[in-house]
Structure 1
Amino acid sequence: MRGSLLVRLATWIVAFVVGGVYGLAGTIAHSYTLGWFPLGLVLAVIGCGALLAAVRLLTGDRWAALATGLGMVAATLFFSGKGPGGSVIVPETALATVWTLALPILVLIVVVWPDRVGALRGN
């Protein structure tokens, strides 16, 4: 039992760190536009959603998906504020607002998604 708990804790820590990397990448790239199309935002949401779904499906553990999502949200919040020199990485724009709101919603959807669809139907 002790080995199993250590493995789960290690999984959650790694998931948090990987989520932080994806959250940082999405926070930096979300503002890229190709003409009028918000390409950076679309790719950031798809990438983070794919990582969350992969962690949830591969581990079968919603806590690992939550740790990944918390890493993403923590990185986004940390790098969205003013730096020590007063510089701002993420200026307050509509795209930044959408990114800041879309990420926790995406995490919530993946974490609360039922384990099996057949379980809801009684199969």
Structure 2
Amino acid sequence: MPRRRGYTDAVTTTVSRLLTWLIAAVIGVVYGTAATVAQAFTIGVLPVGLVLATVGTTALFVALRLLVGDRWTTLAGGLGAILAMVVFSGTGPGGSVIVAAPTPDTEWIPLTWTFVVPIIVALVFAWPDTSRLPAPRKLVE
């Protein structure tokens, strides 16, 4: 019996796409965990941890979007990072806390981090795909 090539290709494409999303989500969880723990680090009044966490997660989401060329992979990575941020920012069932409570001088840092991650994910996800646009025409002199 001959194989149905279109069906096999569709299944392979679907499985590879789902695996890509899963891997992106796991990478997002890893980056989100590291960034959520590190975002509270300051040197004097400089929020070094927040800046590095923002740069790192932005680079991750842009890399996912550029390397895979799929918006949904970026969203999967972003949801993984947001999940890690929510889980590790809260108090555990036994009352333990991974991320220390901010002082009155630094309470804006975790609040900023809470909004930065979803905003970055939304921007990278919504950024238009210009790779399919026609090349600009050169004017003949």
Band of TM-score, shorter chain: over 0.9
Q: Residue 88 of structure 1 corresponds to which residue in structure 2? A: 97
Q: Provide Cα deviations, 1:42-86, integer angstroms capped at 9, x if missing partner.
A: 000000000000000000000000000000000000111111221
Q: Residue 15 of structure 2 corresponds to which residue in structure 1? A: 6
1:61 to 59, 70, 88: 70
What is the correspondence of 1:38-53 to structure 2 with a 5 Å cutoff? 38-53=47-62
How far apart, CA to CA, are the structure 1 residues paired with 2:29 and 2:132?
Answer: 33
How far apart, CA to CA, are the structure 2 residues paired with 1:27 and 1:85?
Answer: 20
Amino acid aligned to 2:34: A
Percent identity among equivalent residues? 48
2:122 to 108, 111, 122: 108
Residues 89 and 7 of structure 1, relative CA distance in 2, 3 Å threshold: same
Q: More helix by proportion, 1 or 2?
A: 1
Q: Aligned pair 1:21/2:30, yes or no?
A: yes
Deviation at 1:88, TM superposition (A): 2.1
Show structure 1 runs of 5+ residues with no match.
none
Deviation at 1:99, TM superposition (A): 0.4
Structure showing greater Rg: 2
How far apart, CA to CA, are the structure 1 residues paired with 2:132 and 2:22?
Answer: 31
Q: Aligned pair 1:99/2:113, yes or no?
A: yes
Under a length normalisation based on structure 1, what TM-score does the superposition of the two structures give?
A: 0.93
How far apart, CA to CA, are the structure 1 residues paired with 2:51 and 2:76?
Answer: 22
How far apart, CA to CA, are the structure 2 residues paired with 1:24 and 1:109?
Answer: 21
Q: Residue 76 of structure 1 corresponds to which residue in structure 2? A: 85
Deviation at 1:5, TM superposition (A): 0.4
